[in-house]
Structure 1
Amino acid sequence: MRRLRFTGLRVRLAAAFTAVALLASVLASGISYVLLRRVMLQRAQDAVINDVRTTLAQQIPPALPPDVEPLVAASLEDALGSMPGREAVAVTVPLRGETGLPPPGVLDVPVTREFAGRAMRGVVFQRVQRHGTPYLLVGARVTGYETTADEPWRTTPPMVFVSASLRREASDLALFTRTLLIADALALAAALALALLATGGVLRPVRRLGAAARALGEGMLDTRVRVRGRDELADLAETFNRTAEALERTVTELRAMEAASRRFVADVSHELRTPLTSMIAMTDVLAEEAAEGGEGGGGGTAARLVADETRRLGALVEHLIEISRFDAGAAALVLDDVNVAAAVGATLRARGWREEVAVEGPADLFVRLDPRRFDVIVANLAGNALKHGRPPVSLRFGRPEREGAGGVRVVVADRGSGLPADVAPVVFDRFVKAEAARSRSEGSGLGLSIARENALLHGGTLEAANGPEGGAVFTLWLPDGEAEELL
């Protein structure tokens, strides 16, 4: 089961598409709400104001008889307050320009002195909230009328205040808002579903390309992807197929060349082994005869030089044969219970190095490994330290210091100048020599490579570094072979 990745390309594309759809839906809904609210409130406001103006024009004639203000006030209150949701009150206009205010509690909305003052000059209105309910408050006073010259207060018409509830309009707006929210939610869900479908169709070829690329990286060079359509993804698939085909052709050619070169090295090495064996024997005989015959130093020296170089060439051929076995995958382990101290001592004694290398380690350490390959590793490490370092050369072995790690750990160190900076990273590469500038140097440059291949064949490691007190330090770790056999 594939784990859902919340940072994947499909999730990000779907989120982007959904965000765009949500933004568009919210903008459209917001604009619709604002326009509808403005239209509804403007319509309700115009209806109330026009009704107030029409009622004032009908109920208050231009020429008022004296002392009719109570009758006019009652008539205005009946006419303007009879509609549902409205309340009206008529207030006597005080003399000398004071502002008239309705009694408290008569209207649903209290009238401020500032609002009443503005109503003295004509029709005014404002929208207010009272206990969570919106209201439209209208104030008006008729100014175009005739008064009595001697007693004007007897013919002054009253001020009118009307409060109209906008509850129905608010309810309609709330219903419209809920409808918009439901529509936005449905649009968001539809946009998300469409985005997932669209991105799935777009990313499916990308996932196929990714799987093909991973398979190609794992070595399946015949991997190809199906080309569908004529869009950019189809062009990408065609490009991938052409690249994979070219890569397969190139890798096949390189593998064939590598296999041919390995076979050539192996064949040449095997062909050289027989004549070199004869040559080594003959040159040794010639060197002994020259030494016994008492010939001049020139002939004996030449014979010994030929013998030494022939033996060196023989060692190189043996190393090449060993390397060819590793390259061909033909190298195998022959495991046995080995006493490490005895094996190390035998290796050094066989090569005459027992007095030159200081050995330190437990005498009763037994490890299951290949004794012949362990001999090759120790001989190469000790020989490298003796040839390229300075005494004292030490060889320490024991159990690994890492917790839970079995096997054996061998450390070979010298007090020489250490590994040069340019040689340290490639010290285990083939034909690498610390004294590469010399046209003639002892060794084939394959010893450390063979040592590391043998360590890897055991499942172990071989590392090189410079010691804190100078000199090169090679650290070998070989696991116990019993764990390998149990697997």
Structure 2
Amino acid sequence: MRRRWFTGLRVRLVAAFTAVALLAAVLASGISYVLMRRMILQRAQEAVLSDVRSILAEQVPVSLPPDSAPLVGAALAEALAASAPGRKAVAVPLTGGELGVPPPGALDVPVTREFARRSLGGMVFQRVVVKDRAAGGRPYLLVGTRVTGYATTMEEPWRTTPPMVFVSASLGREAADLRLFTRALLIADAAALAAALGLALLATRGVLVPVRRLGAAARALGAGELGTRVRVDGRDELADLARTFNGTAAALERTVTELRAMEAASRRFVADVSHELRTPLTSMVAMTGVLAEEAADAPDGGGAARLVAAETRRLGTLVENLIEISRFDAGAAALVLDDVHVAAAVGAALEARGWREAVAVEGPADLFVRLDPRRFDVIVANLAGNALKHGRPPVTLRFGPPEDAAGGVRVVVADRGPGLPGDLAAVVFDRFAKAEAARSRSEGSGLGLSIAKENAALHGGTLDAANGPDGGAVFTLWLPDGEGEEPA
């Protein structure tokens, strides 16, 4: 049940709905985060660069007096640092045109010589994250530039060259805004996922309820309740499926009803014909026997009379078997239980048919089992007769208690004949089943083993057939001990 729960249609549909909703929410959130991050950082970057440009334009005159770089640099650093909270600035003079970098600790972000070299060509910037154990990392915008557009002294240009300027601007506020935006996106995604899960449950309920009805109806139909129908709701594909199921069930009910009526009629016909034939056949068997005896002194030895008598007896046996089969089909067969001495019952069954010397019997002499003696006699006679007719000697019949603790009696009848053909092994207990070579003409009716099987099943036992390891057919019968059951 647990495995079915995790692999059921509801779980798969809900998982599919949820996965699609989660994918859509994550995709939308990711795109929103990227766009928002780009917008926030671009806005902060443009604000810093605009402030730097405006302050440079205000603080650096067009014509510089000689040796004014320190004063101009100090004024620039002070103005740039005061332009916004979280900013630091430093001016680095270009002495003799040589490149310099800010001293360590002058800015929140270390400046590399590569960055300073790129700053010689104009304003450059980059975003830097400084590692911090407490905060995990602090983002900054680092700006570097060299002031241009001023007049220099022709004789000594380095005396009127303004310094390089480096600015570090904290992006902590923007990072905080992004974290807040991320938290809002996560909350929105969770809400969307919960809503999608609820909608998925509602949607799967609308799909699974009709499917479950169809499943229950199919199981009921398979159990034989041919009048089962399902309710049709709506005009969608499930409603079409329900209508198709109802039409199929109705057609199946009509077909099965007709087949049952035909089967019942055929069984009644067989039973009626068998009963009608029994009385005249009894007289015919008696009279043909008398005619065969009287014709024994005839010139031809009475061969024709004996043949007629034998065929009449065979026809009588077939009618008796058909009557017995009709009782099983009608459910009229019943057990009359009694305490049976198995050795005596087996010996009597063989003795009555003149097979006592042809069948070797092995088994305990003190085994008693409660069963129907008449039906046990029929089973033993059919198994022994089948082995004598279709097998080769020696034919053995071994009986005794089962090897396991099942109780009752186990009877094994074996011969040394050719065994069961491959096409007959699976249908040996079917009615009128015969070996291919014997179908055209056989003394048997093809009903003996079927009757034996039915009698075994009526006792609650089993009857199996197989080929023995040394050749020949082996029939194994097990009948339980009917303890506690009163004779009918």
Residue 76 (structure 1) shift: 0.9
Aligned to 1:368: 370
Aligned to 1:357: 359
- Segment drifting more, 192-201 vs 427-436: 427-436
Aligned to 1:124: 124
1:67 aligns with 2:67: yes
Contact (CA 8 Å) 2:146, 2:164: kept in 1 or not?
Answer: yes
Residue 254 (structure 1) shift: 0.7
| Structural mapping, 1:37-52, within 5 Å | 37-52=37-52
Aligned to 1:296: 299
Identify the match of residue 309 of structure 2 among 304, 307, 311. 307
Aligned to 1:384: 386
In 2, distance between residues paired with 1:438 and 1:424?
A: 15
In 2, distance between residues paired with 1:2 and 1:484?
A: 43
| Structural mapping, 1:3-402, within 5 Å | 5-82=5-82, 83-95=84-96, 97-131=97-131, 132-291=137-296, 294-298=297-301, 300-401=302-403
Residue 483 (structure 1) shift: 6.9
Contact (CA 8 Å) 1:417, 1:471: kept in 2 or not?
Answer: yes
Q: What are the ranges of 5 or more consecutive residues in structure 2 without an aligned counterpart?
A: 132-136
In 2, distance between residues paired with 1:244 and 1:419?
A: 41
Deviations 1:113-148 (A, max 9, x none): 111111122111010111200000001111221112
In 1, distance between residues paired with 2:303 and 2:158?
A: 154
Alignment coverage as a number of residue pairs: 480
Q: What TM-score do you get using the length of structure 2 for normalisation?
A: 0.95
Contact (CA 8 Å) 1:116, 1:139: kept in 2 or not?
Answer: yes
Q: Secondary structure at the match of 2:6?
A: coil
Aligned to 1:476: 477
Contact (CA 8 Å) 1:390, 1:415: kept in 2 or not?
Answer: yes
Q: What TM-score do you get using the length of structure 1 for normalisation?
A: 0.96
Q: Report the AA paired with residue 310 of structure 1.
A: T
Q: Secondary structure at the match of 1:465?
A: strand
- Segment drifting more, 377-386 vs 146-155: 146-155
Q: Secondary structure at the match of 2:422?
A: coil
In 2, distance between residues paired with 1:276 and 1:412?
A: 32
Q: Secondary structure at the match of 2:430?
A: coil
Deviations 1:234-261 (A, max 9, x none): 1111111111111101111111111111
CA 237–439 in structure 1, closer or farther in 2 if over 3 Å, else same: same
In 2, distance between residues paired with 1:420 and 1:481?
A: 35
CA 4–440 in structure 1, closer or farther in 2 if over 3 Å, else same: closer
Deviations 1:66-108 (A, max 9, x none): 222222112111111012111111111121x321111111111
Deviations 1:17-65 (A, max 9, x none): 1111111111111000000000100110111011111111110011001
- Segment drifting more, 239-248 vs 4-13: 4-13
Q: Secondary structure at the match of 1:423?
A: helix
Residue 3 (structure 1) shift: 8.5
Aligned to 2:134: none
Contact (CA 8 Å) 1:435, 1:441: kept in 2 or not?
Answer: no
In 1, distance between residues paired with 2:142 and 2:440?
A: 111
In 2, distance between residues paired with 1:37 and 1:18?
A: 28
CA 121–3 in structure 1, closer or farther in 2 if over 3 Å, else same: closer
In 2, distance between residues paired with 1:155 and 1:268?
A: 137
In 2, distance between residues paired with 1:462 and 1:285?
A: 39
Q: Report the AA paired with residue 401 of structure 2.
A: R
Q: Secondary structure at the match of 1:67?
A: coil
Q: Secondary structure at the match of 2:339?
A: strand
In 2, distance between residues paired with 1:289 and 1:146?
A: 160
Q: Report the AA paired with residue 230 of structure 2.
A: V
Residue 435 (structure 1) shift: 5.0
In 1, distance between residues paired with 2:480 and 2:192?
A: 65
Deviations 1:303-341 (A, max 9, x none): 222221111111111100000000011111111121211
- Segment drifting more, 4-13 vs 22-31: 4-13
Give the root-mean-square deviation of aligned CA atoms.
1.6
Contact (CA 8 Å) 2:337, 2:485: kept in 1 or not?
Answer: no
Residue 302 (structure 1) shift: 2.1
Indicate the percent of aligned positions where both proteins have the same amino acid.
81
Deviations 1:209-232 (A, max 9, x none): 111111111100001111111112
In 2, distance between residues paired with 1:219 and 1:406?
A: 34
CA 16–435 in structure 1, closer or farther in 2 if over 3 Å, else same: closer
Q: Report the AA paired with residue 204 of structure 2.
A: T
Q: Secondary structure at the match of 1:429?
A: coil
Q: Report the AA paired with residue 15 of structure 1.
A: A
- Segment drifting more, 148-157 vs 113-122: 148-157
Residue 152 (structure 1) shift: 2.3
CA 124–484 in structure 1, closer or farther in 2 if over 3 Å, else same: farther
Q: Secondary structure at the match of 1:88?
A: strand
Q: What are the ranges of 5 or more consecutive residues in structure 1 without an aligned counterpart?
A: none
